[in-house]
Chain A
Amino acid sequence: MQLKRRKAGRVGRAISAVSATLLIATAASCENSAVAQDFYGLDKAGRDNFGPGIAYTEFDGALLIYQEAGGRVQAIEPTANLAIHGARGQQLTLGAVADAVSGATPNGAVPSDRTQTFVTPLKPQGSSTTVTSASGGSTVIQLPPTPGQLASAALGRQYTTAPNTLPMDKGFRDHRAALTAGWSQPLGWVSEIGGGAGFSREEDYQSITANVRAAKNFNSDNTTISLDLNGEFDSSFPFGGVPTGLTAMNAQFKPVTTRHKTQLGFVLGLTEVMTRNWLMALNYSYDSQKGYQTDPYRVISVVDPTSGEPTSTLYENRPEQRKSQSLFWDNKVAFGPTVTELSYRYFTDNWGISSHTVEASERINLAKAWYIEPNVRFYHQNAANFYRAFLVSNVAFPAYASSDTRLSRFDAITYGAKIGFRVSGRSELYVRADYYTQSGDGHPANAIGQLRNQDLFAGTKAAIVQVGYQWKFH
């Protein structure tokens, strides 16, 4: 690279000599910048010396508390992550999650102006979630004998729902533990290559995941292209066995005990540093899921075509194939002491669902060691093509039907805020709280008879609180 040579000439040389001298001397910076104090200022004690080229370890711990309104689901989820960074861009990540979920969950049946009764298999004594007559509002009942039997020793669990109340199964309890591990490093001309695996197990579900990924930087590291290939193998072994879809809800143990589902997908990413202040990412994802995707505990009511009274309760049934795509566009802009994030995601699948998600947050660094970050999220989805709030007894049943609110048409808003505190140059404590509410049409046009007086939308309102700690060390 040739140096630019200044034109010869006494005046020219005089100027260049002066300017070089001025530069080398401790001349005051002329830049009249109003840049606020850098949040991660380099103090002598905790030098912010964590980044590329330096070996360090980062530990993250967090506790999530989730509570739905109306005595519904509550969950506690501690999580931990360890990331070990090598000096040459290598990274080993280990993660662990545990969660305990309990509370009442809508079983999928519609409310009625009469008392309703539901029966379900009884968990034997000695299992970790025995339901006794005193817990969960359920009672133990003797099941009627099967044809050819004189009497039955079999027991079932029965619960009732008061009139004009959303039917809920209160005996819902689950524990889950999951581990993940991942590795990534640069390799030759590939900026980053890596892979990972995960294992998750709860009382009635198991999930094994694996992924491989690669990324390449271009354009002075302003542009990054990435590809992640991922797969998942899930096993569902619901308590009481796997029911046959669209058959009557009952307390018998079903002959099929386990069903599986496999998923294959990829994420194609383009990340671009647009300007000094603005980072943009665009991701396209594709997923294909094959196998059992029904909720084995969820039911759907069959109602009388005139009165709208439930006449029977059937197990739901979902298709065994689901192909979905999404496009995610994320923007982060830094201005002085703030970082603004704005993202949009469009999702669509062959179940007829499409959704829009818009998220915005504004992080404001205050004083020397604090920051606040309010955030808001808007979500809209339309219903799956097999979503039905209920079935009608004089209409032929479709092949697939589910009354799960999660598959219905609804809007959701989350709003909340986060506060963080830099405990030292290498560790940070944060706490955040969000309020999440779903809203949908509880009085659809096709409601019949008494259903017109019921709220048929079973969406969630929940508080999400999380406390976390990040700690970096060499």
Chain B
Amino acid sequence: MFPGRRRRLIAALLLILSAIAPAHAASLDLTPYRGKVVYLDFWASWCTPCHLSFPWMNEIQASYGAEGLVILAVNLDRDRAKADEFLATDRGQLNILYDPKGDIARQFNFKDMPTAILIGRDGKARFVHSGFEIGKENAYLADVVSLLHQKAP
């Protein structure tokens, strides 16, 4: 409908608008991760088990990143400063997404903090880990590995 030049103009306008407009409706696009196993972890600075999950997530990202594991740690703090304090010591090498208003979280409708949603290579959510308990790391890892062993569609 729109000829080429107008399309580029509209795209540029929208780019500028989204840059200056408030970052409403945080969104999550997982299409770049098709063919990989995505460990989508929802965390916050006030969630004490999250302090335990970060070192473990860093471990498995390092061990299984080559096989196609991508960890996306979605922060749900309303106050960015608190998330930064947490990350200052705990981040490691993880990818962090910010969802201060819970827009992404709301789409997944989970019931616990922290929650990790394991998404297979086909883009479908396969496992949900509610909470993070030390002692259950092997069970969590078994789920990750079973998704890694599935072939990409």
Write the residues of chain A forming the contact surface with B, with a CB cutoff of 8 angstroms.
1-4, 6, 10-11, 14-20, 22-24, 27-31, 33, 35, 38, 41-42, 44, 47, 49-54, 87-88, 220-221
Asked if A1 contacts B85 (CB within 8 A), the reply is no
Given A35-B79, A53-B134, CB of A1 within 8 Å of CB of B15: no
List 5 A-B residue pairs with CB atoms under 8 Å apart, sorted by A's residue number.
A22-B23, A23-B23, A31-B79, A35-B78, A51-B48
Q: Which chain B residues numbered 66 to 98 have a C-beta less than 8 Å away from chain A?
A: 78-80, 82, 85-86, 88-89, 95-98
Residues of B within 8 A of A87 (CB): 133-135
B109 in contact with A1 (CB, 8 Å): yes
How far is A403 from B82 in the complex, measured between Cα atoms in Å?
59
User: Given A1-B109, A6-B29, are A14 and B23 neighbors across the interface (CB < 8 Å)?
Assistant: no
Is the pair A31, B18 in contact by a Cβ cutoff of 8 Å? Answer: no
Residue of B nearest to A53 (CB): B49
Bound Cα distance A47, B135 (Å): 22
Residues of B within 8 A of A220 (CB): 111-112
Chain A residues with Cβ below 8 Å from B128 are: 1
B62 at interface, CB cutoff 8 A: no
B26 at the interface (CB under 8 A from A): yes
Residues of B near A23 (CB, < 8 A) are 23, 26, 97-99
- CB neighbours (8 Å) of A2 from chain B are 124-125
**Is there contact, CB below 8 Å, between A18 and B27?**
no
Which residue of chain B lies nearest to A54 when distances are taken between CB atoms in the complex?
A: B48
Q: Are B82 and A54 in contact (CB under 8 A)?
A: no
Minimum distance in angstroms from A107 CB to a CB of chain B: 54
The proximity string for B residues 31-51 relative to A, scoring 1 for CB distances below 8 Å and 0 otherwise, is 000000000000001001101
Q: A27-B23, A52-B48 in contact; A11/B112 too (CB < 8 A)?
A: no
Complex interface: chain A residues within 8 A of B134 (CB): 53, 87
Residues of B within 8 A of A27 (CB): 23, 98
* Chain B residues numbered 9-25 whose CB sits less than 8 Å from any CB in chain A: 10-11, 14-15, 18-19, 22-23
Q: Are A29 and B123 in contact (CB under 8 A)?
A: no
Beyond A42-B82, A88-B133, whether A20 also contacts B112 by CB under 8 A is: no
B7 interface residue (CB < 8 Å to A): yes
Contact among A3, A10, A49, A221 with B51 in the assembled complex (CB-CB below 8 Å): A49
Counting chain B CB atoms within 10 Å of each CB, the highest count among A4, A14, A28 belongs to: A14
Is the pair A20, B52 in contact by a Cβ cutoff of 8 Å?
Answer: no
- Secondary structure at the B interface, as helix, strand, loop or mixed, is mixed
Q: What number of residue pairs across chains A and B have CB atoms under 8 A from each other?
A: 108
- B112-A33 in contact (CB<8A): no
Residue from B28, B89, B119 with most neighbouring chain A CB atoms (10 Å): B28
Bound-state Cα–Cα, A20 to B147, Å = 25
- A11 surroundings in chain B (CB, below 8 A): 7, 10-11, 14
Known contacts A15-B18, A30-B23; A221/B112 CB under 8 A: yes
Instruction: Tell me the bound Cα distance from A87 to B48 in angstroms.
Output: 11
Alpha-carbon distance A38/B80, docked complex (angstroms): 12
How far apart sit A30 and B135, CA to CA, in the bound complex (Å)?
38
Q: Residues of A contacting B10 with CB < 8 Å? A: 11
Besides the contacts A24-B97, A31-B79, A220-B112, what 14 more A-B pairs have beta carbons closer than 8 Å?
A10-B7, A11-B11, A20-B29, A22-B19, A22-B23, A23-B99, A27-B98, A30-B22, A49-B48, A51-B48, A52-B49, A87-B134, A87-B135, A221-B111
CA distance A38 to B135 in the complex (A): 31
Q: Is the CB of B27 within 8 A of A19?
A: yes
Q: Which residues of A contact B11 (CB under 8 A)?
A: 10-11, 14
CA distance A27 to B11 in the complex (A): 20
Inter-chain contact A53/B125, CB cutoff 8 Å: no
Closest 4 CB pairs of A and B: A51-B48, A53-B49, A29-B80, A1-B125
Bound Cα distance A88, B98 (Å): 29
A337 to chain B, nearest CB (A): 13
Q: Let me know if A22 and B18 touch, CB within 8 A.
A: yes
Whole-angstrom distance between the Cβ of B35 and the nearest chain A Cβ:
15
The answer to whether B52 touches A24, judged by C-beta atoms less than 8 angstroms apart, is: no
